[in-house]
Amino acid sequence: MENLIPYLVPAVIVVIIVLLLLLGYVKAPPDMAYIISGVKKKSKVVIGKASIRIPFFERLDKLNLRLIPIDVKTSNAVPTADYININVDATVNVKISNDPEKLRLAAENFLNKNTEYIASVAREVLEGNVREIVGKMRLEEMVSDRQKFANLVKENAEPDLAAMGLDIISFNVQNFVDGNDVIENLGIDNIVKIKKSAAIAKAESERDIKVAQAAADKESNDAAVEAQTEIAKKQNELAIKKSELQMEADTKKAMADAAYEIQKEEQRKTIEVTTANADIAKQEREIELKQKQVAVTEQSLEAEVKKKAEAEKYAAQQRAEAELYQRQKDAEAKQFEAQREAEAQKAQAEAMRFAREQEAAGIRAVGEAEASAIQAKGIAEAEAMEKKAEAYAKYNKAAVAEMMIKVLPDIAGKVAEPLGQIDKITIIGGGEGGSNGVDQIAGNVPVVMAKVFESMKEATGIDLADIINAESYDAKVNRNVNVSGLDSVNFVVKDDGTKVTMAKVEPQNTTKPVSTDVPESGEQG
Where a domain ends, among 186, 216, 246? 186
376 found inside a domain: no
Whether residue 198 sits in one domain with residue 329 = yes
Whether residue 298 sits in one domain with residue 193 = yes
Whether residue 319 sits in one domain with residue 197 = yes
332 found inside a domain: yes
Q: How far apart are CA 383 and CA 378, in angstroms?
A: 9
The alpha carbon of 73 is separated from its chain's Cα centroid by a whole number of angstroms, namely: 64
User: Angle CA(128)–CA(134)–CA(138) in degrees, nearest 5?
Assistant: 170
Q: How far apart are CA 120 and CA 269, in angstroms?
A: 18
378 found inside a domain: no
pLDDT for the residue 395: 52
Nearest C-alpha neighbor of 399 from the set 464, 454, 455: 464
pLDDT for the residue 524: 38
Whether residue 198 sits in one domain with residue 335 = yes
pLDDT for the residue 123: 92
How many domains in the chain?
4
Whether residue 310 sits in one domain with residue 195 = yes
Q: How far apart are CA 24 and CA 191, in angstroms?
A: 73
Whether residue 484 sits in one domain with residue 403 = yes
Got the DSSP string for 55-91?
TTT-EEEEEE-S-EEEEEE-SS-EE-TTS-EEEEEEE
358 found inside a domain: no
pLDDT in tens, the chain (525 residues): 566 677 677 777 877 777 766 776 777 788 787 777 777 777 777 777 777 777 777 777 788 888 899 999 888 888 888 888 888 999 999 998 888 888 888 888 888 888 899 999 999 999 999 999 998 999 888 888 889 999 999 999 999 999 999 999 999 988 888 877 777 777 676 677 777 788 888 888 888 888 777 777 777 777 788 888 889 888 888 889 888 888 888 888 888 888 888 888 888 888 888 888 888 888 888 888 888 887 888 787 777 877 887 888 888 888 888 888 888 888 888 888 888 888 888 888 888 888 888 887 878 777 777 777 777 777 777 676 666 655 555 555 556 566 666 666 666 666 666 666 666 555 555 555 555 555 555 566 566 667 767 776 766 666 666 665 654 444 444 444 444 443 444 434 444 444 334 444 344 443 334 333 434 433 333
Where a domain ends, among 16, 48, 63? 63
Where a domain ends, among 288, 323, 341? 341
The parent domain of residue 176 ranges over 69-186
Whether residue 195 sits in one domain with residue 178 = no
Neighbours of 188 (CB within 10 A): 9
348 found inside a domain: no
Its pTM stands at 0.34
Q: How far apart are CA 195 and CA 445, in angstroms?
A: 186
As separate numbers, helices (DSSP H) first and strands (DSSP E) second, the chain gives 13, 13
Nearest C-alpha neighbor of 241 from the set 204, 195, 199: 195
Whether residue 512 sits in one domain with residue 405 = yes
Whether residue 217 sits in one domain with residue 172 = no
Whether residue 252 sits in one domain with residue 200 = yes
Whether residue 292 sits in one domain with residue 400 = no
Polymer length in residues for the chain: 525
Q: How far apart are CA 5 and CA 11, in angstroms?
A: 10
